[in-house]
């Protein structure tokens, strides 16, 4: 197959699928094993003792304030100001960590019920931030492994609430909005229907959730988990639908850990900004898991076009096993 440029439907980003660049997927898998790091000196074994402020604690998780927050809490809202040609504002908001209880049990090793519990707490954090009029968006993600940017081995999520809507998020929202205005239907639902007919890039599905390898994958083995129902925001998801998502997350992460030898990855919740008299009914939230098996080089930096060395159909076959 000739290398092929493909445009992602949800982000409009272009990628180049160039399968001949790497002969065997196994090459990528073997060199990227994420080594286990011992509990000794882990700051998340007893966060309170390590001088952290614990905001919530139960038998599954703890939520703490980040000791070195990028965004911190004050009793006023930041104002946008001008400095010369630039816009500036104080980086006020929240920066919290959700710490999973067991040092050696990442998401793929938890039960669907335990994953459900993690997602439920994350959802409740967003709902609590809604009361804060300064917060526009809540970024929720997990960095797993050094190549994904994790500085602490112990499995944890980051929750960063910002006083602006990140431009990348605005871009995703605007693309969905444009599509809806033109076609009177949801872009994500349309995509899911097409993938269901194609049947070539589905890793897993249950009654309420589906896991798909994007047609225009930026990275080998990336995948997206969608609620099958048209649900606009993560925090609006019912417990029943969240349970379907948890089951799908468990199975897809477990398959990835088994078949790719526990690779480094970033997991993102792609959801709407907090609603401030605004409706985002055309949007459809999802989870994105992006493996960190390749290193971005000059072309990627220069053009923002990623080169993916494996056809998404091939990665689906490997992940499905």
Residues that bind Zn ion (CB under 5 A): 42, 44-45, 103, 154, 186, 188-189, 230, 284
Shortest reach from residue 319's CB to Zn ion, in Å: 24
By C-beta, is 36 or 321 nearer to Zn ion? Answer: 36
Q: Quick one: tokens of 311?
A: 């056809």
Shortest reach from residue 227's CB to Zn ion, in Å: 9
Burial letters 128-162, b for 16+ CB under 10 A, else e: ebeebebbbbbbbbbbbbebbebeebbbbbbbbbb
Shortest reach from residue 308's CB to Zn ion, in Å: 26
* Whole-angstrom distance, CA of residue 222 vs CA of residue 291: 6
By C-beta, is 37 or 164 nearer to Zn ion? Answer: 37
By C-beta, is 163 or 227 nearer to Zn ion? Answer: 227
By C-beta, is 103 or 255 nearer to Zn ion? Answer: 103
* Whole-angstrom distance, CA of residue 227 vs CA of residue 266: 19
Look-up of token digits 């001088």: 51
Q: Quick one: tokens of 272?
A: 């709407």
Shortest reach from residue 225's CB to Zn ion, in Å: 14
Helix, strand, coil shares, percent, the chain, to 5: 30, 25, 45
* Pairing mode of beta strands 14-17, 306-308: parallel
By C-beta, is 134 or 191 nearer to Zn ion? Answer: 191
Burial class (CB in 10 A: 0-12, 13-18, 19+), 37: middle
**Cβ 228 vs Cβ 209: under 8 Å:** yes
**Cβ 318 vs Cβ 263: under 8 Å:** no
CA angle, residues 172, 176, 182, in degrees to nearest 5:
145
Q: Quick one: tokens of 129?
A: 């931030």
By C-beta, is 16 or 231 nearer to Zn ion? Answer: 231
Shortest reach from residue 277's CB to Zn ion, in Å: 22
Shortest reach from residue 101's CB to Zn ion, in Å: 9
Shortest reach from residue 133's CB to Zn ion, in Å: 29
By C-beta, is 40 or 321 nearer to Zn ion? Answer: 40
Q: Give 234's Cβ-side CA count (13 Å radius).
A: 30
Q: Quick one: tokens of 190?
A: 């349309």
By C-beta, is 121 or 186 nearer to Zn ion? Answer: 186
Shortest reach from residue 189's CB to Zn ion, in Å: 3
């Amino acid at each position: 197959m000739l290398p092929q440029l493909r445009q992602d439907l949800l982000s409009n980003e272009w990628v180049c699928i160039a399968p001949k660049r790497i002969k065997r997927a196994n090459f990528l898998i073997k060199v990227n094993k994420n080594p286990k790091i011992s509990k000794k000196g882990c700051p998340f074994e007893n966060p309170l003792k390590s001088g952290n402020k614990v905001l919530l604690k139960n038998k599954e998780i703890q939520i703490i304030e980040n000791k070195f927050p990028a965004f911190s809490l004050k009793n006023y809202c930041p104002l946008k100001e001008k400095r010369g040609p630039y816009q500036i504002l104080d980086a006020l908001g929240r920066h919290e960590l959700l710490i999973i209880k067991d040092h050696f049990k990442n998401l793929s090793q938890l039960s669907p019920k335990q994953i459900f519990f993690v997602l439920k707490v994350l959802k409740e954090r967003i709902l609590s931030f809604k009361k804060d009029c300064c917060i526009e968006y809540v970024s929720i993600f997990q960095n797993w492994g050094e190549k994904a940017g994790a500085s602490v081995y112990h499995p944890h999520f980051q929750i960063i609430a910002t006083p602006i809507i990140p431009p990348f998020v605005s871009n995703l929202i605007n693309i969905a909005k444009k599509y809806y205005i033109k076609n009177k239907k949801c872009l994500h639902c349309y995509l899911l229907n097409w993938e269901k007919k194609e049947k070539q890039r589905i890793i897993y599905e249950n009654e309420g959730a589906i896991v798909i390898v994007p047609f225009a994958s930026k990275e080998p083995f990336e995948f997206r988990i969608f609620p099958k129902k048209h649900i606009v925001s993560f925090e609006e998801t019912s417990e029943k639908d969240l349970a379907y998502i948890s089951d799908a997350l468990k199975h897809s992460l477990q398959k990835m850990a088994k078949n790719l030898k526990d690779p480094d990855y970033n997991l993102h919740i792609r959801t709407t900004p907090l609603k401030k008299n605004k409706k985002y009914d055309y949007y459809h939230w999802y989870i994105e898991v992006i493996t960190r098996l390749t290193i971005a080089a000059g072309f990627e930096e220069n053009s923002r076009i990623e080169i993916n060395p494996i056809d998404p159909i091939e990665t689906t076959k490997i992940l499905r096993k």
